[in-house]
A and B are shown apart, each in its own frame.
Chain A
Amino acid sequence: MSEEHEEHHTNYVKIWAILVVLLAISVAGPELEILWITLITAFGIAFVKAYIVVQKFMHLGDAPKFVTYVMVTCLVFMMLFIAGTASDIYKSNGENWYKIESEWQYMPPVAQHDEGHGAADEESH
């Protein structure tokens, strides 16, 4: 750790101040109600903040390289998960199938009454 000693003298308060400013921007930005500004300020800044915390507070850079690779791999697998599932979960229709509107229930009126008790119970919780 001795050679990294320099780095640990980082002015953490300054970094914190930067984070707070970024927070303010990310709250203020979406108030403009312009889509791309919302996206950039809300989510772009979240990534910037996360990067700052990971690098400056968690000192990911000081750990051996493989630690970073592991973290990135985890994120990549999550991307992979979204890539593999979006066609079913995000999309409401696809090749030869479509999702029924939530209200739609192919259920006869009387039977719906029977079945409805369970559902009604759940709604009232």
Chain B
Amino acid sequence: MTLFASNPWLAVAVPVFVALVVAVAGKRLVGMTQWFAVLAPVTAGMVGIAGWNSTAGPQSTSWLSQAGTSIETGIAVDGLSAIMLIVVGVVATMVVVFSVGYMAHDESRARYFALLAIFTAAMCLLVMSTSLVTLFIGWELVGACSYLLIGFWYRKASAASAAMKAFLTTRVGDVGMLLGLALLWKATGSLDIAVITGAAPGLAAGTATLAALLLFMGAAGKSAQFPLHIWLPDAMEGPTPVSALIHAATMVAAGVFLIARMWPVFDASEAARTVVLWIGTFTAIFAATVACVQTDIKKVLAYSTISQLGFMFAALGAGAWGAAMFHLVTHAAFKSLLFLGSGSVIHGAKTQDIREMGGLARFMPVTAATWIVGAVALAGIPPLSGFFSKDAVLASVLHASPLAASVLFAASLLTAFYAFRVTSLVFFGKGRGTTVAHESPLSMTAPLVVLAVLAATLGFMGDPIMTALGLEPEILSFAVAGVSVMVAVLGLCSACALYVNGLGQASRLSERFSALHRLLLGGWGVDALVQRVFIAPVIRFAGALYVWLDRLIIDRAVEGVGTGSQFIGRFMANLQSGETDVYASLAAVGFIVLMGIVLWIGR
């Protein structure tokens, strides 16, 4: 343990090493190396556990320096990063183990496991860094791993496009983050997080707000907040364990982590927090509505993740970053559980469309049991973990803005509704699918069980987490809890009532409100709007610019100089007419002109 406590860099180095070994070993040794790959997240988790109460100072080194100005890189483990490390370590371990079964038949397993290991390394770098530069490096690297993993089955055009969309959308946020870095660099002369947070209270109000908003832009991109959420549903093209790890538990939560990490900057700006609160709140309700009508099991989970992240941002906006982190942790547990569960379902049922499933509980008892644990936790029903963390979030938001809180209650209702809509459709009722499903192997079910236990119990970890973060423990607010439970149960019951007997009632409903249904199904048209307003015009603009400006004006001008001088040259050469008298007169004329010039100059 002391090894990990005093050498936190192992959390980065070991996964990189693992990745190299797996990559080099390639196809030949996949059987062995895929178990070896577990080493990567385990190390990360160990470092997190070791660093929980560690007093070891940051380890930093100059990344680059010039003429006395230096940009430092460094890593350190404190409470916040320890929590993140443990989350990453545990979920990643489960995912790797799950993947051994899930990816058993894929040819490119080596690439898959290597990328998972690199992702682990990058994520550890992100959460441990003491410098915004290191953080940004990790930030981008996880994005790149996400890109490569979403596009893992790149033969599918949809996967390739989704990967690109994910990367580019988060990059839009990164534009803001990069500018935020630049602004902080200009304002504080450093990119060291400790320095910046130390200087944050002294920043000019405008600077603080701008910096906070720019950082939030980055966070919103990574954490799929409206309107930068559009990539996350598409990201489900990747292998399901990847969705569980990256697009539910860790990477997408990095935005929350970033704001928590840079809290003093946000603390310095009321305006920025308000923006965060409302963006989060809106995202929560918006995504929840969309999740209610999706038919792809993973899409439901994706919108659910967006919605839950909205909860966290709302908490951040309300000033309760501890609550946000708490919800992050519990969400990581139950959402990765749900994703892995869906993976197991997909593995067993060979389809992702919930309309084609049904009654799977009979064939897949373990999966079904664990899934229900996860769904209950998601719905926020006590005593499972989701209840406690959501309660903390709601309480804090209520404190900051009752209006936002009431929206969040509505979102809670929808959460419970869609969670059990899926549960009912998939596991209960009559089977609608053509194939006979089967339970998954042990390597897949074991992680489900572990995560289910965590999802059930993590709610009681609220106090230790708060302590580790250096915050006051939350006190359960009974009023809020009561309402929240009522809402959750309402959602649960209505979903069961509506869907337990199949889709019949629901489809009648959706036909009746078909316009609304289509709108929701299309995610309120945000995706199409972005496509039409931003992407297509840029590409058309680029094409037009190339044809009109680059080829027709600039290059034509360049070539025109050439042809123009040739034309003049032709004209001049034509003066050479071949007439003897003209030639002779040129000599005399030359003399006269020369004399004229001389006399004119010498006036």
Q: Specify whether A and B are partners.
A: no
Question: Contact residues of A with B, CB < 8 Å?
Answer: none
Question: Contact residues of B with A, CB < 8 Å?
Answer: none
